[in-house]
Chain A
């Protein structure tokens, strides 16, 4: 065991980890942050996607002990003050949620994209989501949700800077 401090959703969490513990294992089994799902454990499905220093990554394939000093965002951290993040709200409104198992990972992929690129093309959205598998939706309404979220976030931004 070694001690690391992980910054998760803006809070420092000091924990003891084994060498081979993945971030996914730490989130789910140590910190009870079970919003991040395990769909494969082999870097294939994106259900475990989180954002590490602004980049969407599969937490099943990252060793927790290497992440000291990184900013880690998970699905539990993106709603602020009891209000859903615009991407979360857009996923609901667009009907992008069916079974919901891929949803947290999808939302994190979408957030990393929109944080970096507020006005993406459909192609960019599909490329950003291509690391996430979904067996329910054919991705149609998920892509629409990201477009809807982007639009709302831009409006919010413009509204905010105008006032």
Chain B
């Protein structure tokens, strides 16, 4: 076991709730039962778009143990946007509506004493649908004359951003490449399905336990839907069994809350995996057209990007995703003439929302795919082409936004070395020349990512620290930890700053009643903003501790060091007091060592990474074996190497799936084909390659101890690197994800 020390930054620290998780003692929301709790079940729509002509709940109500059967007639008229960040943008959703907009949309809900009774009742609800035209493709939904999925039309709000002069840029080009790309919707597939327990009580208060990435956003929305003041809505996220963006938006919570209000009992709703896949949110399916102009020497002169985003049935995070991807579009390529145009359109599919990367996995898949095609076609080394056209540190993008200490270029350089890029390319050439059954392919891709929501909305986080009578402390934070270790990082910063060891810091988190506001787990902001807030508050506490210590030790504050639960004279370590003595002294003097602060970022520095992959394609079966994978990232100062590595490993697993196997497939009526978890084709332990991860020795001056983000950047370049490698192995290009073995075989047969 490690000796506890308060000098923790830079050392590997496991998530602080790991003991609870390895023993099975951690209580996830589905592990909880409240006295008198009922079980909620939802009737989901079997059709893609319909008006409910009639709904008969009589038989369902007769089932023994049923307490309520609800439909649109029982639901508030209020329309909301279930995404916290976008809650004021195009509110389109009702708790239960008289129009259903996708296969899997909620029609009606039952609360009963057992899950079985609820399920029996759901099956007895009789619904007559008047079917309406439906659209699964965003381009068709956006076409003039398309039947409106919502009253305000199918195009939400087009985004158009630019810099320079596109005509001039393309005029300067020696060659112009134009290609269409298509990417599928993807299921987050967090291991913990969507679940919530809602309890409305006689005092007019609604309490919701839910694994949520955004408890304050959920509170805002629930307060609005049910007309409650915020002090009468308490949202608590005890622990999250994975989020990845899927647990930002409201999913089960409004229905659960309504059932609880109607029955006066706590109501649990837990989605079966099939329901989670069909009725949870997804990553956006997109259709993308990219045009790039390039000079013979590889200098890009222009890049024009046009994307249709499939928003799904409700507004959700789509506008933010369209905007965020638009922002990221300007963050890597130093091309002078750039244009981004997004058409976000409602479709009759599950609601698309945040998913790790927030529009960037799609964007950088398309851009890196085109760069790969360009390099190969023009006989250039892809790394040289990328390096020629990306930003150096401390520049502003073409719209004047500062990028911070962005070092993607160094990630590429180091990655080349570590991976053995030149040798791998030779291997690829040799394999092509041999023309045997197995072909070696290598690929690479680079991408940036931000570290906060700054520039989009005020990015704030409040943290409180309270010293207990024995000198231990409790941190109160609204920062949602999906398991990625954001709270652990906050505690590390508090430990380093106050000199109190990690084992003497407790964490109360994501409870709207007891913790200060936090924006939510968006934008890879856990370390940069959550950490920044913890650091700011810890510095305040440090001052208070030093004041007490100075009085007790009789020396100047500047002379005092705080370390390992003690305060001591830096010239005489034995002249010391313990944190307990400090706490007691403060108490005697009627002073309290508790502090709080609200922290807001003033920047959104850009992190970056470059991924390199070598794989082997079996030309007889179409199977791909990934042989080697190198990822080099710039995260600024590495606060917790263990946590950061874990993020990259997981990001790669998700990227491999996005590239080769995942993606939601619909039938012609809009129903999901393959509703079991095995049908999501997530990578398993025996399919994963050897992964090598390295971080640059780097520092972001605005970050807590020099740190910036990692969570999303970890997955953004991955799919492009992998799909490029498959294309390079076969001497072809693929223009859509995933590249399944069937697609590979199809290509081989066609050529």
Contacts and interface: CB of A to CB of B under 8 A. Distances in A.
Contact of A129 (B24, B642, B685): B685
A26 to B, nearest CB: 15
B677 A92 contact: no
Interface string A108-147: 0000000000000001011101101111111111110000
Given A37-B192, A92-B18, A101-B242, A74 B24 contact: yes
B269 interface: no
Interface stretch (A41-49, A64-72, A153-161): A41-49
A100 B26 contact: yes
Interface footprint category on B: 35 or more
Contacts of A143: 685
Contact of A95 (B31, B646, B685): B646
Most central of A84, A129, A133 by chain B CB within 10 Å: A133
Interface in B440-489: 482-485
A13 to B, nearest CB: 17
B451 to A, nearest CB: 20
Contacts of A42: 273, 676-678
B244 interface: yes
A44 B680 CA distance: 10
Interface string B646-684: 101111111000000000000000000000111000111
A93 B273 CA distance: 31
B240 interface: yes
Interface stretch (B9-17, B81-89, B591-599): B9-17
Given A97-B14, A99-B242, A138-B653, A84 B193 contact: no
Interface in B478-512: 482-485
B241 interface: yes
A104 B241 CA distance: 12
Given A44-B677, A102-B191, A135-B189, A97 B688 contact: no
B30 A38 contact: yes
B26 A95 contact: no
B18 A138 contact: no
A136 B483 contact: yes
B643 A133 contact: no
B22 A138 contact: no
B710 to A, nearest CB: 13
B191 A98 contact: no
Nearest to A76: B24
Contact of B22 (A47, A84, A129): A84
Interface string A76-95: 10010000100011011101
A75 interface: yes
A2 B15 CA distance: 43
Nearest to B24: A35
A36 interface: yes
Given A42-B676, A136-B650, A139-B685, A99 B241 contact: yes
Contacts of B651: 138
A119 B31 CA distance: 35
B691 interface: yes
A49 to B, nearest CB: 12
A98 B646 contact: yes
A92 B678 contact: no
A89 B642 CA distance: 16
A92 B26 CA distance: 14
A51 interface: no
Contacts of B645: 95, 140-141
Nearest to A138: B649
A103 interface: yes
A91 B18 contact: yes
A139 B653 contact: yes
A98 B15 contact: yes
Contact of B483 (A36, A100, A130, A139): A100
B652 A138 contact: yes
Interface in A2-61: 28, 33-42, 44-45, 47
Most central of B21, B23, B241, B691 by chain A CB within 10 Å: B21
B550 to A, nearest CB: 38
A97 B22 contact: yes
Contacts of A38: 30
Contacts of A103: 21-22
A150 interface: no
Interface string B231-250: 00000000111111000000
A137 B676 CA distance: 21
A156 B129 CA distance: 67
Contacts of B21: 97, 100, 103-104
B272 interface: yes
B272 A41 contact: yes
Interface string B503-541: 000000000000000000000000000000000000000
A19 to B, nearest CB: 13
B22 to A, nearest CB: 4
B559 interface: no
A92 B13 CA distance: 9
Interface in B617-665: 642-643, 645-646, 648-654
A12 B651 CA distance: 43
Contacts of A84: 19, 22-23
Contacts of B239: 100
A138 B484 CA distance: 13
Contact of A133 (B22, B28, B682): B682
B677 A40 contact: yes
B609 to A, nearest CB: 14
A80 to B, nearest CB: 12
Nearest to B691: A140
B191 A47 contact: yes
A44 B643 contact: no
B573 interface: no
Contacts of A44: 273, 676-678
B190 interface: yes
Most central of A40, A74, A125, A136 by chain B CB within 10 Å: A136
Contacts of A125: 685
A76 B25 CA distance: 8
B23 A88 contact: yes
A126 B193 contact: no
A95 B11 CA distance: 12
11 contacts: A99-B484, A100-B17, A101-B242, A130-B685, A133-B684, A135-B242, A136-B646, A137-B649, A138-B648, A138-B651, A143-B685
Interface of A: 28, 33-42, 44-45, 47, 74-76, 79, 84, 88-89, 91-93, 95, 97-104, 107, 123, 125-127, 129-130, 132-143
Given A42-B273, A101-B242, 10 more contacts: A37-B191, A44-B678, A79-B23, A88-B22, A98-B482, A100-B17, A100-B483, A107-B22, A137-B650, A138-B653
> What 8 A-B pairs come out closest when comparing CB atoms?
A35-B24, A99-B483, A100-B21, A101-B241, A138-B649, A75-B24, A34-B31, A138-B653
